[in-house]
Structure 1
Amino acid sequence: MLAAVGSLATAFWAAFHARTLLLGAVAFLFFADFFKRQRPKNYPPGPWPLPLFGNFFHVDFENSHVAVQLLVKKYGNILSLDFGNLSSVLITGLPLIKEVLSNTDQYFVNRPLTPLRARIFGKNGLIMSNGQIWKEQRRFTLTTLRNFGLGRKSLEERIQEEAYHLIEAIKEENGQPFNPHFKINNAVSNIICSITFGERFEYHNAQFQELLKLLDEVTCLEASKCCQLYNIFPWIMKFLPGPHQTVFSNWDKLKLFVSREVEKHKKDWNPDESRDFIDAYLKEIEKYTGKNASSFYEENLICSTLDLFFAGTETTSTTLRWGLLYLALYPEVQEKVHAEIDRVLGPWQQPSMAARESMPYTNAVIHEVQRMGNIIPLNVPREVVADTTLAGYYLPKGTMILTNLTALHKDPTEWATPDTFNPEHFLENGQFKKREAFLPFSMGKRACLGEQLAKSELFIFFTSLAQKFTFKPPDNEKLSLKFRMGLTVSPVSHRICAIPRE
């Protein structure tokens, strides 16, 4: 009996002891994090961060770009927000944004490497790489894009040809309601695919449709709460199920697709005749084989190709989807676009970049779609390279910098009707007017390297579609401007009617 009581007491004490140790460890972590989180002198103001979580609960991740505007009103144009161990600062207002993005001392040129991105790409690729890797990859990619037609008639003809295929695919809907999402994705993606893989994919290609769906899913999920929690607690979250595991799985499948494309290229590769980006990159790998400190290796080829595939698909196609939605919701704007197209191009002449100068209203509509669509609302983040100051505030090395494009593109001091779709924002005396406070492609050394391609695609695709169709809401269905928050801000799933104009 005494032995049994003793065993019970021992077990109770062991359990109590273990629980005490656990609680003590948690308390220690909270206090250690609390004292570590003491803000340095002259650090930007912001809501006080909680231990471990930081300001995670101050942000609505379904509506983050809108929610932070309330914090800007309270704390000012330089606002600090912490997420776990990641300190970030949100910059608002054109003068400060220009100072950050065009900083000649390059204090803000780096990208922050979050645990999520580190798990997916490491330090590779074009978008999130830094230092010598970024410089070499960007320089090579810009040169290669030019070699394959960027800024030339040949690439413009490729876009025109793809616009024709998209129009034919939409005609098959016979004016009935349809979801334009993946038709537009496929068309836009085919342009970058023709450069990277040397081929385009039919709209009924099941494998390619699956890849586009994988890409769309990661675009949506990477901004989710679960993925942000992974950035705060990667050592715990990597063992737990959730959307972050889907993100990893999807990126692995996308990597496998590119890897297979690379292997296909190797089989009939001729180093003297590069057919596409992959061929050119394989030649660069061969050139640097055996040399130290080269950033040209196969894993970087896969990551850089995926960056091009993502950036060359998602941003332009999302903008075009917003564009068709705005045409359907603002029929008076659509009528003016139709009138200009009919006057300048007529029903049969293919839209071209040369015609853009004669079509200021259509050009203004496209720019207003970009302003209102606001697809990358806080820009792609930067990171402070070395301790520095901005507007008198101290910014330690490693601080993540977010530039508030949402506030910039809705600034009432810059735009006459900031919350209303109004193409007149980009017109003056009937002519197209550039606006300094319009930065959908960012600016400075890390501005979007595909800006020229995207502008060509937006004009030719948008004008081609408006030339051939009138876009309307389906009968008994109401279109809205509700959005889906992800890495980009995209329209919620919807159907639209494309009525042929011929």
Structure 2
Amino acid sequence: LLQMHEKYGPVFTVYLGTRPVLVLCGHQAVKEALIDKAEEFSGRTTKPTLERVVEGYGVGFSNGERWKQLRRFSITVLRNFGMGKKSIEERIQEEAQFLLEELRKTKGKPLEPTHLLSRATSNIISSIVFGERFDYENEEFQALMKIIHNFFLEMSSTWSQLYDMFPTLLKYFPGPHTRIYNIVSDVFLFIGKRVKKNQETLDSNFPRDFIDCFLIQMEKEKDNPFSEFNIKNMEITIFTLFFAGTETVSSTLRYGFLLLMKYPEVQGQLHD
């Protein structure tokens, strides 16, 4: 892509199968599109592998008025629960202690930290979305972590990428490219149970987590025919926050570990 940038300039189109993909290269092109012309570029498409799962619902995969309502609400709730504020630091520091305890158990032996980092990161998101953290040995929590791991592996597989390039053809055929739907169905069962639990114990005056806030907003807008606050949007928004929040941060931490191993002098400076 960088070689094509040198030949065709900062904005060009490549085709992944039948799908045209617009490529923006360099800070100036990205700024012009996403900041200077934010409204025109606010829409997003959904990968065909995910369409059957999300169906255009939720904050991460919607467009237009639905996206605006859910985005505005989600940002407000996340901030109210500490995201971007000093109060979130306490949760992160608390979780860091649990992570350190697990690392100490290895007694200096080599380890593969992917799952530990995912659990630690996921617990920060869980404390906001579900109102609690999970013990690392909790079987339900471990199953969720495994689903997230398998979900991203499946999205990166050759079959899924082929499906994203040729969806009009492959959607009529069974095969590995349809596995993602089956993988995430267990997540929606988990989310559904959590929502039901919150509904049974809801106190509108004292929201405990993201689910409570969404349920309260649903009640407020129950007579609004244009409201986007419904169970489907709630479940897929929670799915988005939980999956994206876990994978992005844990991957960044994992790369951080690798970089520190590659540059031990920087690691030494951090210890100092």
Q: Please say whether Structure 1 and Structure 2 have the same fold, judged by a TM-score greater than 0.5.
A: yes
| Alpha-carbon distance between aligned partners in 2 of 1:291 and 1:106, rounded to the nearest angstrom | 25
| Alpha-carbon distance between aligned partners in 2 of 1:260 and 1:281, rounded to the nearest angstrom | 15
| Alpha-carbon distance between aligned partners in 1 of 2:241 and 2:109, rounded to the nearest angstrom | 33
Greater Rg over alpha carbons, structure: 1
Among residues 218, 225, 231, which one is paired with 2:151 in the alignment? 218
Is 1:124 equivalent to 2:57 in the alignment? Answer: yes
Q: 1:296-375 residue pairs with structure 2 within 5 A? A: 296-339=229-272
Among residues 242, 255, 258, which one is paired with 2:188 in the alignment? 255
8 Å contact kept, 1:159–1:191? yes
| Alpha-carbon distance between aligned partners in 2 of 1:240 and 1:179, rounded to the nearest angstrom | 35
Specify the code of the residue in structure 1 equivalent to 2:23: L
8 Å contact kept, 2:129–2:209? yes
Specify the code of the residue in structure 1 equivalent to 2:11: I
| Alpha-carbon distance between aligned partners in 1 of 2:259 and 2:162, rounded to the nearest angstrom | 35
Q: 1:22-421 residue pairs with structure 2 within 5 A? A: 68-104=1-37, 106-231=39-164, 232-234=166-168, 236-242=170-176, 244-339=177-272
8 Å contact kept, 2:217–2:229? yes
Number of aligned residue pairs: give it.
271
| Alpha-carbon distance between aligned partners in 1 of 2:211 and 2:232, rounded to the nearest angstrom | 12
Q: Which residue of 2 aligns with 1:49?
A: none
Specify every segment of 5 or more residues in structure 1 that has no aligned partner in the other structure, as ranges: 1-67, 340-502
8 Å contact kept, 1:182–1:209? no
| Counterpart secondary structure, 1:293 | coil
| Alpha-carbon distance between aligned partners in 2 of 1:71 and 1:258, rounded to the nearest angstrom | 44
Specify the code of the residue in structure 1 equivalent to 2:111: F
| Counterpart secondary structure, 2:143 | helix
* Higher percent of residues as helix: 2
Q: Which residue of 2 aligns with 1:15?
A: none
Specify every segment of 5 or more residues in structure 2 that has no aligned partner in the other structure, as ranges: none
| Alpha-carbon distance between aligned partners in 2 of 1:249 and 1:175, rounded to the nearest angstrom | 38
8 Å contact kept, 2:49–2:180? no
| Counterpart secondary structure, 1:102 | helix
| Alpha-carbon distance between aligned partners in 2 of 1:216 and 1:70, rounded to the nearest angstrom | 32
| Counterpart secondary structure, 1:106 | coil
Q: Which residue of 2 aligns with 1:59?
A: none
CA-based RMSD: 1.7
Q: Which 4+ stretches in 1 moved above 4 angstroms?
A: none
| Counterpart secondary structure, 2:36 | coil
Q: Could you tell me how far 1:249 is from its partner in structure 2?
A: 1.0
8 Å contact kept, 1:115–1:234? no
